[in-house]
Structure 1
Amino acid sequence: MTPRLPRPPARSPASRLSRRSHLLLVGSLLTGAALAHDDPPDGGKTHLPEVEVRGPRDAAIGLADSASEGAAEKESFQSRPKLRPGDIVEAVPGVVATQHSGDGKANQYFLRGFNLDHGTDFAITVDGMPVNMPSHGHGQGYSDLNFLIPELVSGVRYRKGPYFADGGDFSLAGSASLDYVSALDAPFSEVTLGPHGFRRAVAAGSRTVGDQTWMGALELEGNDGPWDVAENLRKANAVLRYSQGSQARGFALTAMAYRSRWTSTDQIPQRLVDSGELGRFGSLNPTDGGSSRRLSLSGKWFDKGPHGDTELAFYAIDYRFDLFSDFTYFLNNPVDGDQFEQVDRRQVYGAQASHRVANRIAGLDGVVNFGAQWRGDRISQVGLYNTEARERLSTVRDDRVSQDLLSVYGQQMVNFTERLRGYAGLRGDVLRYDVDGREPVYGAANSGRGHDAIASPKFGLAYTVTPTHELYANAGTGYHSNDVRGATIATNPQDGSAATRVPALVKGSGSELGWRWQPAPDTTATVALWQLQLDSELVYVGDAGSTEPGRASKRRGLEATLRHRLSPVWRVEADVALSRARFRGVAPEDEGDHVDNAVEKVVAGGLTYSSGPLTATLRLRYLGPRALDTNDSVRSRSATLLNLGTRYALTPALTLGLDVFNIAGRKGNDIEYYYASCTAREVASGGCGAGIDDRHVHPMEPRTVRVSARMTF
């Protein structure tokens, strides 16, 4: 988490659609071919391995609702070299996923002028289950993807902006849906080895009998990393799925289990690296680290019939999290140090239902989509404790939290003419919460209960200029939730001073103009001009157990993407994202208008070669400089990363792999912050005072080579 301190299948686009033909095409995608449902040749027993309502190639001219929605093809994201599981979200154009702590901790995400911390304003789901955790012990919207097994992912669908009625909490900047397969082409096992004690083994397989399929996977991983203090990562992961049905109707049940523990190297002061006192991969607290556990059971049922698509889903998650961090060393406690522990123990329950069907309004063809969602978080313990070498010294916060989010939405699409279509939607969200403070001094004062509600209208237009060009206009309002402990807080638990409460739901509004060009099925280019305004960037700071004041903000930017198959064996991808983030209103004394750590420029590209037994992918990612304080007086350095992934099928059963990360050996940083800290030596020398303002960095990993061998059975 950012340290918060006192301020220091695609069809050819050449086919022209009439209103009726467009409706029939959309209807067939939505209902999964109703005729096949009525009278399938095998009596409805044909098994569909991937039980999905919507396929991953739904963003095409005539079908897309915005320029910034789409889906990454499996060929693209599976061939990319991935240093960590969370890297898969970089398949979403403009998204950057980095790490500033141990590999058992959630990634740091950047998108559309946001340092998203560990997930705020970027909603992630895996197989229909939400990953973001509200009122989390470490940070609001915490999204840990380390339980993901990348080999099982069948599709990465994404949307950006608050323009769609089915998008709710945390989706202001964007959202990504990662779907799992229900069946594999063949069972496989794979072993990967690398330097610094990296080893990983994964095995997966499925078996189909009639219309019933069992699929299972197991992953084990260990890693010490390049750090001076060995990471000692130990991770275990398992998935078991049962699915049954046909293209028209079916259901799936999925169980997942994940557990990991690790020692982390957090960001360190640049001044110590420059002086040689500390190496780039050094640590100031060898006892930092943590553990995490996630168990889940989920299910979904769908029916694609002549009367529309209906889908029902549920999930139940048991989650445990412990994290020990130290960002300021001996600034606040010169004797025992500043390490702290964050704890989260919760169960998450949820259910959702949706229905979409073709209809007519005022003689015009359309499709209506509506649904309801409920999520309940029962947090038996969410706490913050001062520690030394992982031993608790005192309690800052210790709370029991219960919160429920109930949502309903509806969205109507209408074909106005052969070329013009549009939609209007409305979403309503109601949040109820109860905070029971158990810390003996300030717990009672910071307890409370309440509710908040928000209505979010959505609009969009699409105009097909030619069969290969389409224009879009989108607008809408949305929200993100705040940690509900910030909505009930009255007293700062650090010093007993009065604390400012934050609203439970914060409104945001955005708009976008876009263009899509598809001259052929294997070529797509998009351009989007967007803006997003937030009423407030008030946040509850998990690292301090208190609220931090913020101001209204505005972000705007430009995004461009290109996907093109140069030849049957070569494919190229390119993404550019530029953004500008500023606070609105009068700046407090000694502060400016820059939103600190807001990403300003991301450039990414990839070149893939696939022919016969060989597949090779070269990926480039550039993260540009950004302001580290509101006055833009200190800026981060840029970071350029070049990775290579290759796979060679030695025999039909044996495939060898070679991944090279950071080929150029660049000494960039995954993350940079600017704040005050003080080391033990600086305290002893008397040179600490109120703290030393400095850049704090966590380096990219050095050039790393991993080799793998996969056996297919």
Structure 2
Amino acid sequence: MQGRLARQGWFLIFLGCFHCAVADRLVLDTVEVVSRSDALLGEARSASQGFVGRDRFQLRPLLRIGELAEVVPGMIATQHSGAGKANQYFLRGFNLDHGTDFAAFLDGVPLNLPSHGHGQGYLDLNPLIPELIDYIEYGKGPYYADVGDFASAGYARFHTASRLEKGFLKQTFGQDKYYRTVAADSYDLGRGTVLVGGELAFYDGPWASPMDMQRYKGLLKYSWEGDNRGFNIGFNAYHNDWSATDQIPERAVKQGLISRLGTIDPSDGGEAHRFGLTFNGWNDSAWGQTRLTLYSYYSDLRLYSNFTFFLEDPVHGDQIFQKDRRFVVGGNLDHHWHWTFDGIDAGFRLGTQIRHDFIPKVALYRTQRRNIVAPVAVDQVNQTSVGIYLENITRWHPKIRTMAAVRGDIYFFEVKDRLHGRHSDERADALVNPKFGLILGPWYDSELYFNYGFGFHSNDARGVVTGADPLVRSRGLEVGFRTYWLPELSTTLALWQLRLDSELVFVGDAGTTEPSGKSRRSGIELSNRYRPFDWLTLDFDLALTRARFEDVGNSADQIPNSVGRVIAGGITIDHPGGGFAAIRVRHFGAVPLNEAGTVEAGGTTIVNLGLGWRWRDRLRLSLDILNLTDSKDFDIAYYYASRLPGEPAGGVEDFHFHPVVPRQFRGTVQLFF
């Protein structure tokens, strides 16, 4: 405890010294952050494309950082392990595991990690500092030329702020030794603005085996903007280490071996690091708009997990150690220009994206209490991807516009087997994906959208060199409607279908994913946002999905962990008198746990409440009650065989679940300066 308080003290002293050193340069302008959803009318490429400003999520009570992704209608973010591991994401009938088929970006930098030690497309949002996110753009389906790998279900772009209206110091205390401090400020420096922010957090959690999470983050960003050009340079750092309570077998709870909050292997857990440098520049001229992003970052994950306990190794146990250490460099170059002839306005966009992942070590070991028993696989991977896209949007008539685009991607895989040398090889593959759209309107502040397009996800390089398909195509179709017919109400409706040539399925005993058969998903999504007053917002989202494997017959075609129903809604009050409150309900329905659909996990409903008071933009006090109803539902569940001591050698097929966190109270004091 004293060590934690000491670290908090040094953190605050550092920020205080930085503030004093540059306070003489402080010139803060008032910045109003509002949602720009109305601006999408006449601009959006599909009904399921959207924009969320800071005003839409700054008051949301969040249990975990990954829940920030739930601003995407129909998205669910859960967790089946410790607070340092990437979340499980569910969208459009996908169990995205930790990110496959959903792409995320931070200030233009791709966050998904291909050929990752824990799973393909691993997506960890824990490095984000929610208070420093300015806005989020999102889209669903494979209809966007500037988004390539891992985006069949959709994408989200997180953008950090360049300037804060006021600096702040925020301290949160909660049950189970939860402490979190965030501090940030922005200053004029030269002709630009520097923003500095940091977070530290500690949390044991309600688990029988304390999580002992220790998390540190930092962001330093310099921005400059002239009349028609500008740039920003950012550096971010992230460290997290934790112990984990993974999913547990239901029979162990029923037999009284452990509680619902217990664990079979208390030595599970991990450690994660990420350090990144980003440059974004733009220039607007008579020739069009040019955007350039350059980035490099280092990522390191050490993850200890035990999903089957004593099934594979009755002596040492089945704990595995997944190691992934990599250096990533890349860039995006994009040019946009217009051409007008005889009343027809055509916009063109030409871009290229290059990325290289150097992975000196991606490895899997058998371990016991974090001590290595035997190596299973140790590889070095070099993976390079180059994408080129061309998009045209033509306004043939004030009420008719079309979108036509083509994207080509080429991938190079090189794997060196450092353990046996048997699987060292190289391989390359390329894919071309066209995309089309027709938008009719606006009429009465409403538009109708028709979209058809192809996307893809890459497979793990280690599987590619042994015969797996390198690039797996997806095909999407969507018909949608967007309306602002009532000025205070925005509504979108989308009917969609998505087919994949190969599904990635979670494998319990390996703790990773593997390619499976073809799949088809279809569904309907409804999203509503009603703002009758400037201080009151009501929202409601509904997503219904049917997900099936293809070419497997009728008896075993269900996709495990595909969520068929998602309901989310809330009321947000931000009264000018100082009071504010937000209540949110999120529900996902029962999910099949095997292909036959004979085993099912029940639905989950969570209610979160936040309320507080603000005094003269100087002080904010708030209380969050997370899981208000103290739900005993599952965060996530699986069905597979595991073995406890004394059980048959073949193990026992059983539910394995991670419970939702019991009701939590967290109080926050935030000072503005």
| TM-score normalized by the length of structure 1 | 0.88
Return 121-130 or 206-215, whichever deviates more. Answer: 206-215
1:540 CA displacement: 9.3
1:176 equivalent to 2:156? Answer yes
Counterpart residue type for residue 392 of structure 2: Q
Q: What residue is the counterpart of 2:258 in the other structure?
A: 278
**Which string of whole-angstrom CA distances, capped at 9 and with x for unpartnered residues, describes residues 71-127 of structure 1?**
113111111111111110000000000000000000100000100000000000111
Q: Work out the CA distance in 2 between the residues paired with 1:544 and 1:446.
A: 19
Q: Work out the CA distance in 1 between the residues paired with 2:512 and 2:495.
A: 36
Q: What residue is the counterpart of 2:643 in the other structure?
A: 678
- Contact kept, 8 Å, 2:140 with 2:154, in 1: the verdict is yes
- Contact kept, 8 Å, 2:508 with 2:640, in 1: the verdict is no
Residue correspondence of structure 1 range 340-419 to structure 2 within 5 A: 340-360=320-340, 364-419=344-399
**Which string of whole-angstrom CA distances, capped at 9 and with x for unpartnered residues, describes residues 220-239 of structure 1?**
10000000000000011000
1:566 CA displacement: 2.4
Among 588, 593, 598, the alignment partner of 1:633 is: 598
**Which string of whole-angstrom CA distances, capped at 9 and with x for unpartnered residues, describes residues 325-355 of structure 1?**
0000001111110000000010000111001
1:546 to 1:117, Cα distance in 2 relative to 1, 3 A: closer
1:689 equivalent to 2:649? Answer yes
Secondary structure of residue in 2 paired with 1:86: helix
1:457 equivalent to 2:422? Answer no
Q: What residue is the counterpart of 1:643 in the other structure?
A: 608
Q: What residue is the counterpart of 1:605 in the other structure?
A: 569
Q: What residue is the counterpart of 2:221 in the other structure?
A: 241
1:536 CA displacement: 1.3
Q: What residue is the counterpart of 2:448 in the other structure?
A: 471
**Which string of whole-angstrom CA distances, capped at 9 and with x for unpartnered residues, describes residues 23-61 of structure 1?**
xxxxxxxxxxxxxxxxxxxxxxx99999x9x99547532
Q: What residue is the counterpart of 1:14 in the other structure?
A: none
1:502 equivalent to 2:468? Answer yes
**Structure 2 unmatched ranges of 5 or more:** 1-26
Among 549, 554, 559, the alignment partner of 1:595 is: 559
Q: Work out the CA distance in 1 between the residues paired with 2:592 and 2:332.
A: 40
Percent of residue pairs identical: 42
Q: Work out the CA distance in 1 between the residues paired with 2:38 and 2:109.
A: 21
Q: What residue is the counterpart of 1:439 in the other structure?
A: 419
Secondary structure of residue in 1 paired with 2:447: strand
Q: Work out the CA distance in 2 between the residues paired with 1:326 and 1:154.
A: 38
- Contact kept, 8 Å, 1:370 with 1:410, in 2: the verdict is yes
- Contact kept, 8 Å, 2:308 with 2:508, in 1: the verdict is no
1:486 equivalent to 2:463? Answer yes
1:711 CA displacement: 0.7
- Contact kept, 8 Å, 1:79 with 1:616, in 2: the verdict is yes
Residue correspondence of structure 1 range 525-536 to structure 2 within 5 A: 525-536=491-502
1:413 CA displacement: 0.4
Q: Work out the CA distance in 2 between the residues paired with 1:384 and 1:412.
A: 45
1:460 to 1:338, Cα distance in 2 relative to 1, 3 A: same
1:133 equivalent to 2:113? Answer yes
1:222 to 1:247, Cα distance in 2 relative to 1, 3 A: farther
Q: What residue is the counterpart of 2:663 in the other structure?
A: 703
Secondary structure of residue in 1 paired with 2:600: coil
- Superposed CA RMSD in Å reads 2.1
1:156 CA displacement: 1.0
Q: Work out the CA distance in 2 between the residues paired with 1:506 and 1:162.
A: 13
Counterpart residue type for residue 674 of structure 1: Y
Return 139-148 or 561-570, whichever deviates more. Answer: 561-570
- How many pairs does the alignment contain? 645
Among 557, 560, 563, the alignment partner of 2:529 is: 563
- Contact kept, 8 Å, 1:56 with 1:156, in 2: the verdict is no
- Contact kept, 8 Å, 1:69 with 1:158, in 2: the verdict is yes
Q: What residue is the counterpart of 1:109 in the other structure?
A: 89
Q: Which has the higher strand share?
A: 2
Q: Work out the CA distance in 2 between the residues paired with 1:482 and 1:545.
A: 16
Counterpart residue type for residue 360 of structure 1: T
1:551 equivalent to 2:517? Answer yes
- Contact kept, 8 Å, 2:272 with 2:301, in 1: the verdict is yes
**Which string of whole-angstrom CA distances, capped at 9 and with x for unpartnered residues, describes residues 567-592 of structure 1?**
3332101000000110110349xx60
| TM-score normalized by the length of structure 2 | 0.93
**Which string of whole-angstrom CA distances, capped at 9 and with x for unpartnered residues, describes residues 512-550 of structure 1?**
000111124542101000000011125696963998451
Secondary structure of residue in 2 paired with 1:88: helix
Secondary structure of residue in 1 paired with 2:119: coil
Counterpart residue type for residue 570 of structure 2: G
Counterpart residue type for residue 612 of structure 2: R
Q: What residue is the counterpart of 1:29 in the other structure?
A: none
Q: Work out the CA distance in 1 between the residues paired with 2:355 and 2:530.
A: 40
Counterpart residue type for residue 473 of structure 2: K
- Contact kept, 8 Å, 2:118 with 2:511, in 1: the verdict is no
Q: What residue is the counterpart of 2:6 in the other structure?
A: none
1:574 equivalent to 2:544? Answer no
1:213 CA displacement: 0.7
Q: Work out the CA distance in 2 between the residues paired with 1:557 and 1:74.
A: 29
Q: Work out the CA distance in 1 between the residues paired with 2:571 and 2:503.
A: 38
- Contact kept, 8 Å, 1:262 with 1:291, in 2: the verdict is yes
Among 142, 146, 152, the alignment partner of 1:162 is: 142
Q: What residue is the counterpart of 1:584 in the other structure?
A: 550
Q: Work out the CA distance in 1 between the residues paired with 2:290 and 2:367.
A: 51
Secondary structure of residue in 1 paired with 2:416: strand
**Which string of whole-angstrom CA distances, capped at 9 and with x for unpartnered residues, describes residues 167-214 of structure 1?**
100000000000000111111111000000000111100101463111
Among 583, 597, 611, the alignment partner of 1:618 is: 583
- Contact kept, 8 Å, 2:35 with 2:54, in 1: the verdict is no
Q: Work out the CA distance in 1 between the residues paired with 2:152 and 2:616.
A: 47
1:712 to 1:166, Cα distance in 2 relative to 1, 3 A: same
- Contact kept, 8 Å, 1:58 with 1:70, in 2: the verdict is no
Residue correspondence of structure 1 range 18-37 to structure 2 within 5 A: none
Counterpart residue type for residue 447 of structure 1: S
- Contact kept, 8 Å, 1:482 with 1:540, in 2: the verdict is no
1:265 CA displacement: 0.2
- Contact kept, 8 Å, 1:211 with 1:246, in 2: the verdict is no
Q: Which has the higher contact order (CA 8 A, sep 6+)?
A: 1
Secondary structure of residue in 1 paired with 2:591: coil
1:129 CA displacement: 1.0
Secondary structure of residue in 1 paired with 2:533: coil
1:541 to 1:279, Cα distance in 2 relative to 1, 3 A: closer
Q: What residue is the counterpart of 1:27 in the other structure?
A: none
1:363 to 1:75, Cα distance in 2 relative to 1, 3 A: closer
Q: Work out the CA distance in 2 between the residues paired with 1:389 and 1:204.
A: 39
Q: What residue is the counterpart of 1:25 in the other structure?
A: none
